[in-house]
Structure 1
Amino acid sequence: MGLKPTVAFNHLGCEKNRVDTEHMLGLLVQAGYQVDANEELADYVVVNTCSFIEAAREESVRTLVELAAAQKKVVITGCLAQHFQHELLEEIPEAVALVGTGDYNRIVEVIERAEAGERVKLVSPEPTYIADETVPRYRTTASSVAYLRVAEGCDYRCAFCIIPHLRGNQRSRSIESIVAEAHQLAAEGVQELVLISQITTNYGLDLYGKPRLADLLRALGEVDVPWIRMHYAYPTGLTPEVIAAIRETPNVLPYLDLPLQHSHPEVLRAMNRPWQGQVNDNVIHRIKEALPEAVLRTTFIVGFPGETEAHFEHLLAFVERHRFDHVGVFSFSAEEGTPAYDLPDQVPEAERDRRREILMLAQQPIAWEHNRAHIGRVVDVLIEQENPATGMALGRSARFAPEVDGLVYVSGAAPLNAIVPVAITAADTYDLFGEVVPVAPALEPSLSLAP
């Protein structure tokens, strides 16, 4: 038998997509396939696509077209494949296979069938699959960080969001399964686990009949990983039990990514958010009271249909009042198939972009102030890159999540994939700068004779 074909991956989209990519890689490697980072040398290129908003779709399509022009055998997986399952094979004749978001676990079968000359289409109408700790995984992130998926899909139906259509309803993994994978990752030397799902505060609701995030966090406290971070925590799901679990579990960081989307009750009602706008202030005050050290990140959508100038001013005042550590702002993207697509009073694109710019500019001095407050402090930094030629290293403090927040630029000898103390000497809007604090060697105990 000859060598199996070589497969390369082109990963697009979010960290949930990345975990899918890593499982596909793991399955192919386990089955004896050659995996190569160089698309030019590969027999097949698997493109794990994103279809969340128009810009992401355009990037996915551009990538597919470029690979098709290079006469590559393209396997289309991920959200674009799920979204346009009836059109893509027709529109991209070079594609040899189409694989939905609930079918990536069959990637080995897909390549085998493509090798036999078949044009494969594997797209479950309703995705139900979620990988667990028994599915091989070939990680593509820095060796220090791993994303740990606790659930897939979403039961909410926000008016602007197409995720439930692309990923299905929420399905949680068991606490035992998640903890088992966390132990595996710890054994690989991972220093930080990032818990991901669409709504992490709803973890376990489908499986146990009630959310069990607090129980999961406490169970993960037994895992030998220094930092555990949560993404996508709905404020209303941050119950006293969850807050207590964060506070009392030493390796769970008090870092809360709150997908607020807006502040005005009328806009939130139009968005079909499952909680009312007037709770925003109270919830945030409660979080800050219960977790004074909490780092708060959030995201907002500006230019949602019907958002007036008064609504936007309300949001601007909200951001200036609460002084979040990190803020992401998106211009509304009208997604076909969502209720918001046909809503009246669509905001012109130029106005959406203007509001986004104003909100981002309003956040910049707030972010700078948060960073500047760390000058003179010693903080723990996870070193992720080093450059021996310059004597500089790159890392992140616990305040910065991978890929979305700032970096810490470190001078002085710092071991890779280790958490080291760094004295912060300077700051800008997004990043910190500092020097490694030498750790004094432990003194040998000595005997002294009393006079």
Structure 2
Amino acid sequence: MGEKPTIAISHLGCEKNRIDTEHMLGLLVEAGYGVDTNEELADYVIVNTCSFIEAARQESVRTLVELAESDKKIVITGCMAQHFQEQLLEELPEAVALVGTGDYHKIVDVIERVEQGERVKQVSLEPTYIADETTPRYRTTTEGVAYLRVAEGCDYRCAFCIIPHLRGNQRSRTIESIVAEAEQLASQGVQEIILISQITTNYGLDIYGKPKLTELLRALGKVDVPWIRMHYAYPTGLTPDVIAAIKETPNVLPYLDLPLQHSHPDILRAMNRPWQGRVNDGIIERIKTALPNAVLRTTFIVGFPGETQEHFEHLLEFVQKHEFDHVGVFTFSPEAETPAYTLANQLPQAVMDERWHQLMALQEPIAGKKNQQEIGKIVDVLIEQENPQTGKLIGRSGRFSPEVDGQVYVVGEAKLGTIVPVAIHGADTYDLYGQVVTSQN
């Protein structure tokens, strides 16, 4: 019997993409393929691409070109494969296959066909697939953390966003399926499960006829895992029931990532998010009252077409007023297949960059102040890395989500992938510093 080829994956883009990567690896391992972390040694490299904004596409293209120059057999998967199928196959003769966002579960069949000498294009026009707890998975995240997809796709049509075009409409998994996967992850020693979808507050709407996030959180409360974190909670979906479930379920962190994008009703209308303009202020106050210890993160787009100085000042005041723990800011990126691409009054990049700097400069002291408030507290920290040179540990408290927020630099001894109490004695704008609390103290 001939040896099966070895396969490496180059992963780009978001955590939704990472789950697809992990399922592809899981399926390949199950089918007897060798997985190599070193791209140079592998026979095939699967490049799981991102196509969300121009910068992400450039990174994807750079990776593809570098690999093509090294004579690798390249399989292109992910959002960019869905988006630019013909161009990619034409411009990269080294690509032996192209797989769309709704077809990654066919990866073993695709590789087998390539081995037979075929150049494969496997792209469903409308992605409908979603993996579940029965789909093999080979985890690639740091010890202790796993992402858990509760739904795929999105039913909203925001003017700037290409995701529904690439990932299809929302399709949720059942509560039973999600809980079963959470239990599998807990049994592997996972300490933190991060629930993801485009809009987690809309979870279940497509299969149950109404959102079922409350029921899902309460069901996950019975799973033996210390931390459950939610990503992308639309403020309108944070109903009193959902807030009560967050409050009353001990392992659900009161961490809310609200992708607000803007504060001014005119810009929200132009973004095709008109429902949001009426609710921002009131809803944030309501969350803070109901969940006094809530950690609020949000993202904003500056320089959306037609954004005037007045609109931008409205956003500055909004950020000043609400004092979010964490704020991400993006400059508008015009995407060819989105309505925003053809809007009048596109802003010059210099104006967008200036607004980006202004908003970040406004947020910095707020973020710093929030971190200062942690000094003197003993907080639980999930230890994720150890610096071999210094022996220093790096982890995160419940206030910080992986890769987007700060970290906690820790002195003392603790095992990787465990949660330990840490006394916080220092803080800067984005990170905290502390010491492991031992029981003798």
Greater radius of gyration (CA): 1
Distance 1:236 1:132 in 2: 27
Alpha carbons 2:265, 2:274 under 8 Å: kept: no
Secondary structure of the 1:129 match is: coil
1:7 aligned partner, one-letter code: I
Q: Distance in 1 between matches of 2:5 and 2:388?
A: 37
Partner residue, 1:192: 192
Report what 1:447 is aligned to: none
Matched, 1:38 2:45: no
Aligned to 1:75: 75
Q: Deviations over 1:31-55 (max 9, x none)?
A: 0000001111111000000000000
Pair 1:319-2:319 in alignment: yes
Structure 1 residue 388 displacement after superposition: 5.7
Distance 2:415 2:81 in 1: 41
Give the match's secondary structure for 1:87. Answer: helix
CA–CA distance in structure 2, aligned partners of residues 123 and 87 of structure 1: 14
- Structure 2 residue aligned with 1:221: 221
Which residue does 1:231 correspond to in 2? 231
Structure 1 residue 375 displacement after superposition: 0.7
Matched, 1:26 2:26: yes
Secondary structure at 1:41 match in 2: coil
Matched, 1:240 2:240: yes
Report Cα offsets for 1:32-86 as digits up to 9, x if no partner: 0000011111110000000000000000011111111111100000000000122
Question: 2:128: which partner in 1?
Answer: 128
- In structure 2, what is the Cα distance between the partners aligned to 1:111 and 1:236? 44
* C-alpha separation in 1, matches of 2:175 and 2:41: 41
Q: Deviations over 1:344-398 (max 9, x none)?
A: 0001111111101110111000000000011111111111112365231100000
Matched, 1:431 2:434: no
**Over residues 207-241 of structure 1, what are the superposed CA-to-partner deviations in whole Å (9 max), with x where a residue is unaligned?**
10000000000000010100000000000000001
The match for 1:416 is: 416
Partner in structure 1 of residue 208 of structure 2: 208
CA shift digits 1:66-119 (9 cap, x unpaired): 111111100000000000122210111110000000000000001000010000
The change in CA–CA distance for 1:274 and 1:264 in structure 2 (over 3 A counts) is closer
Quick one: distance in 1 between partners of 2:155 and 2:412? 48
Alignment map for 1:255-266 (pairs within 5 Å): 255-266=255-266
> Aligned letter for 1:113?
R
Alignment RMSD (CA, Å) = 0.9
Report how far residue 418 of structure 1 moved. 1.0
- Higher mean displacement: 212-221 or 84-93: 84-93
- Do the aligned residues in 2 keep the contact of 1:247 with 1:254 (CA within 8 Å)? yes
Write the letter of the residue equivalent to 2:157.
Answer: R
Aligned to 1:392: 392
Report runs of 4+ in structure 1 exceeding 4 Å deviation: none
1:82-161 → structure 2 map (5 Å cutoff): 82-161=82-161
Structure-1 separation of matches of 2:165 and 2:191: 34
* Cα drift, residue 275 of structure 1: 1.4
8 Å contact kept, 1:10–1:46: yes
Give the aligned partner of residue 275 of structure 2: 275
Assess, with a 3 A threshold, how the Cα gap between structure 1 residues 351 and 79 changes in structure 2: closer, same or farther.
Answer: same
Matches within 5 A, 1:351-366: 351-366=351-366
Question: Which range moves more in the overlay, 262-271 or 388-397?
Answer: 388-397
Contact 2:304–2:347 under 8 Å retained in 1 = yes
Question: What's the offset of the Cα at 1:414?
Answer: 1.6
Q: CA deviation at 1:279?
A: 1.2
CA distance in 2, matches of 1:92, 1:275: 43
Secondary structure of the equivalent of 1:284?
helix
- Equivalent residue of 2:66, what SS? helix
Contact 1:130 1:171 in 2 (8 A): yes
Aligned position for 1:62: 62
Partner of 2:183: 183
Write the distance in 2 (CA, Å) between the matches of 1:64 and 1:372. Answer: 43
Within 1, Cα distance between the matches of 2:250 and 2:409? 26
Residue 416 of structure 1: CA displacement? Answer: 1.6
| Contact preservation (8 Å) 1:264, 1:311 | yes
Q: SS state of the match for residue 26, structure 1?
A: helix
The answer to whether 1:376 aligns with 2:376 is: yes
Read off the aligned partner of 2:90 and give its amino acid letter: E
Report % sequence identity.
Answer: 77
Q: Deviations over 1:168-205 (max 9, x none)?
A: 00000000000000000000000000000000000000
1: distance between equivalents of 2:29 and 2:146? Answer: 19
For the 8 Å contact 2:236–2:276, the answer to whether it is kept is: no
Rounded Cα–Cα distance in structure 2 between residues aligned with 1:10 and 1:297 = 29
Mapped partners of 1:298, 1:413: distance in 2: 34
Q: How many residues align?
A: 441
**8 Å contact kept, 1:156–1:274:** no
Q: What is the CA–CA distance in structure 2 between the aligned matches of 1:389 and 1:365, rounded to whole Å?
A: 32
- Aligned to 2:276, what secondary structure does the other structure show? coil
The code of the aligned residue for 2:218 comes to: R
Show the counterpart of 1:448.
Answer: none
* Deviation at residue 440 of structure 1 after TM alignment: 3.8
Q: Note the 1:1-12 alignment, pairs <5 A.
A: 1-12=1-12
Partner letter of residue 415 of structure 1?
K
List gaps (5 residues or longer) in structure 1. 442-451
SS of the residue 1:39 aligns to: coil
CA distance in 2 between counterparts of 1:43 and 1:274 reads 50
Q: Which runs of 5+ in 2 are unaligned?
A: none
Tell me whether 377-386 or 18-27 shows the greater mean CA deviation: 377-386
TM-score by length of 1: 0.97
* Corresponding residue for residue 252 of structure 2: 252
- SS state of the match for residue 86, structure 1? helix
CA distance in 2, matches of 1:153, 1:373: 38
CA apart distance, 1:319: 0.3
CA distance in 1, matches of 2:40, 2:75: 15
Q: Distance in 2 between matches of 1:356 and 1:81?
A: 30
**Alignment TM-score, normalising by the size of structure 2:** 0.99
